[in-house]
Amino acid sequence: MIIFTKNAGFRYLQLTRIYKSYNRLILKTLTTYSLRRCLYTNKNRYNNSVLTTKKYELCCLHNKKNYSQNSKIKDNTSYARDEKDVFEKPKLFITNHIATQLGIDTSLVHDAIDIPKKTTLGDLILPLPKLRLIGTNYTELGKKLVNTIPSSKYIKTIVAHNAFIQIFLNPLYIYQTLLPKVLTEKENFGRYNEGKGKKVIIEFSSPNIAKPFHAGHLRSTIIGGFLSNLYDTMGWSVTKLNYLGDWGKQFGLLAVGFEKYGVKEDFLKDPINHLFEIYVKISQDIARENDLPDIHRKTDREAKQFFERMENGDEEALDIWRNFRSLSIDKYIETYSRLNIEYDSYCGESKVPKKTIEYVINRLKEDHLLKKKDGAMVVNLTTIEEDLGLAILQKSDKTSIYLSRDIGEALERYNKYKFDKMIYVVACQQDFYFRQLLATLKLMNFDWVNKLEHISFGMVKGMSTRKGKVVFLDTILNEAQEKMYAQMIKDQDKLKQIKNPKETADKVGISGVMIQDMQSKRATNYEFSWNRMLSFEGDTGPYLQYSHCRLKSIEDKNQVYMRNILTNLDFSLLDDKEAIELVRIMAQYPTVLSKALENSEPSTVVLYLFRLTHQISSCYKTLWVDNEEKRIAKARLALYSSARHILHNGLRILGITPIDRM
């Protein structure tokens, strides 16, 4: 066995097991993080998997150029996500110590330290295999390392467990760092600058005018709203777009239908529902006519003609269409505001400039990427990925289609916003479609295509309301409100204490719908259940709201202490195990947000809030505030109040309005 260590200050490297020939090392068993990366980035130079000592030396030379030498991480280096984060200082302390001990790069250690899933495993955890010290017995190494780490104010205990080093922080250090920060920053606690100067476009909801708002649109609205809030919290500049399905033959159908069945007053009162009614009736007429000979298929012909007029810019036809669109948007604005969503722009398929679509088609033609197939123009995407097949970009009648509009729209958006990232929140039914969209853009050589991301999600089964078909978002929200209100009036005494019961029922009902949607991973399908989502028991939206109310009432009852809560706080009084567990969970909040952003996963935040509120409930059993000695009452109050701020901020990111009383 040969070991190269700290070769001229380069990365520490352990190479083991030299097989037979002296200078042939087999990569599979020998690769270290740096070597593998070096080989990968320089694969033309070292284009086989067998590593010779000569190559190793070359790698080291490259490493010298590419990586900083083993250096101490100071606070405020770019590694520190936020030097004020509770975990950052202990993390830097451990990092520097272990990196020095092992003679390896600090960034390697820093990146390997994580926050474990359960607090029983520590506040921080270092899985030693992540250091890629091949051939090392990690269990032994762990045991040795923990004994060398000096004591510090940050750490209570360090435990070596199998290949892991578990770090338990000193609770007093957590209290002192976290609580004053939360109590000062309040609703701003958890806001970061990570995305400062970066721009993200988030397109979500995107319903089709005059067609039902289905479960896919509901999830897109909820997940998209969440992502917008999360990016904003992380310091990104967020632009929210609603890309309406507002173009196509259905508008010809609507116009013809409106002539026949439209009632102006009904339209003004409830445009979305009225247009949908008309759409249903006129579609039935068409279905009936379809059984007749061609000359009697009048409605279909008229609808087509009307849409053609729209496509040709006939002002009279466009006026009618504009009226349908703008009144629908007024209604959308009102309903989305119940979910705290405000769009920066209602764009839509109709708004994609014709000339941009023409430009796309012409460019593809010039590059010989378009070919004719059965009268249509198609692009061959198999060069990008085998299974993507052919995609139609233009039908024989030359009108634009969904895909060509999306391509044109993407170009327009990039020119307009020069975004760093653009996210489409659309149901998994369109997974294949989005792969085709991105592949076409890639084929056209737009380098910004790698800034686009399709955030997909699973299906909702069994979503229905009393009226049966869900026509628009407010049908669902109204029903949630009514059902919640029906529950609330059962307790008349409580009801009397609530200032605005209808509004409260609306907020709690909506949080039920939203939490149900976001509590399982977005890729999974779920069964829509009114009973489950509106229950106060179990992990539901109303339960989180209830938890918030209870914390708020503790604060309200103790306003005298709350006024100067930060003076003379004695955290050593919070030494009960329930309180310690609570503050340890609270400290994880910023990391939870980072993780949720990394995976665009709302369930990460929801499940965290359940852990938090369950622990708050455990605290109530023993940690009282009322009738306690002032010093104790105040310390506990500081804990509860901080917990409430975190719950409040988490709910806000999910798009939920936390309520104070219910």
Ligand X SMILES: NC(=[NH2+])NCCC[C@H](N)C(=O)O
d(CA 409, CA 315): 23
Q: How many Å apart are CA 151 and CA 169, to the nearest integer?
A: 11
**Residue among 406 and 506 whose Cβ is closer to ligand X:** 406
In the complex with ligand X, the residue whose CB is nearer, 245 or 262, is 245
Q: Is 472 in the site for ligand X (CB under 6 A)?
A: no
Residue of 46, 236, 243, 279 interacting with ligand X (CB under 6 A):
243
Residue tagged active-site, from 55, 62, 89, 214: 214
Least distance from ligand X to the Cβ atom of residue 347, Å = 9
Do 522 and 601 meet the contact criterion of CB atoms below 8 Å apart? yes
- Residue 638, CB-side half-sphere exposure with 13 Å CA sphere: 27
Instruction: Write down the least CB distance from residue 463 to ligand X, Å.
Output: 15
C-beta of 158 vs 347, nearer to ligand X: 347
Min dist. Cβ of residue 344 to ligand X (A): 16
Q: Which stretch binds ligand X (CB under 6 A): 24-32, 64-72, 203-211, 223-231?
A: 203-211
Instruction: State which residue, 429 or 553, has the beta carbon closest to ligand X.
Output: 429
Contact positions with ligand X (CB under 6 A) in 387-426: 406, 424, 426
How is residue 357 written in tokens?
């679509």
Active site residue 304: no
Contact between 365 and 404 under an 8 Å Cβ cutoff? The reply is no
Question: In the beta sheet, which residues pair with residue 37?
Answer: none
Is 345 a residue that touches ligand X (CB under 6 A)?
no
**Binding status of residue 474 toward ligand X by CB under 6 A:** no
Taking CB under 6 A as the criterion, which residues in 245-274 touch ligand X? 245
Q: State the DSSP code for 444.
A: T
The residue among 375, 355, 351 whose CA lies nearest residue 363 is 355
Report phi then psi at 393, rounded to 5.
Answer: -110, -20
Q: Residue 70's closest CA among 95, 40, 43, 38? A: 95
Question: By the 8 A CB rule, do 135 and 154 touch?
Answer: no
Residue whose beta carbon is closest to ligand X: 245
Residues 354-360: contacts with CB under 8 Å, at least 24 apart: 354/400, 356/408, 356/411, 356/412, 357/400, 357/404, 357/405, 357/407, 357/408, 359/408, 359/411, 360/393, 360/404, 360/407, 360/408, 360/411, 360/444
214 is catalytic: yes
| Residue 21 identity | S
- The residue (of 351 and 365) whose beta carbon lies closer to ligand X is 351
Q: Which is nearer to ligand X, 161 or 331 (CB)?
A: 331
CB of 302 vs ligand X, minimal distance in Å = 25
Q: Does 96 bind ligand X (CB under 6 A)?
A: no
**Which residue of the set 89, 110, 217, 634 is catalytic?**
217
Query: Residue 96 or residue 208: which is nearer to ligand X going by CB?
Result: 208
C-alpha 37/C-alpha 32 separation (Å) is 8
Catalytic site residue from 97, 130, 198, 211: 211
485 Cβ neighbours under 8 A, 6+ residues apart: 501, 502, 505, 509
Candidates 208, 237, 594, 603; binder of ligand X (CB under 6 A) is 208
Task: Give min distance, CB of 236 to ligand X, in A.
Answer: 20
221 binds ligand X (CB under 6 A): no
H-helix or E-strand spanning residue 494: helix 492-497
Per the annotation, the verdict on 211 as an active-site residue is yes
Query: Which residues, other chains included, contact 473 with Cβ-Cβ below 8 Å and sequence gap of 6+?
Result: 207, 213, 217, 218, 221, 335, 336, 339
Q: Determine, following the binding rule CB under 6 A, whether residue 571 of this chain makes contact with ligand X.
A: no
Best CA proximity match to 13, nearest among 136, 122, 125: 136
Segment interacting with ligand X, rule: CB under 6 A, options 150-158, 200-208, 367-375, 572-580 = 200-208
| Near ligand X by CB under 6 A: residue from 206, 221, 229, 328 | 206
Q: How far is CA 582 from the centre of its chain?
A: 25
Query: Which is closer to ligand X, CB of 123 or CB of 203?
Result: 203
Residue 565 is encoded by which pair of tokens? 């809560």
**Among 44-52, 130-138, 202-210, 543-551, which window interacts with ligand X (CB under 6 A)?**
202-210
Per-residue contact track with ligand X, 424 to 463, x per CB under 6 A?
Answer: x-x-------------------------------------
- In the complex, least distance from residue 8 CB atom to ligand X, rounded to whole angstroms: 53
Which residue ranges make up the site for ligand X (CB under 6 A)? 203, 206, 208, 243, 245, 406, 424, 426
Q: Which residues are catalytic?
A: 211, 214, 217
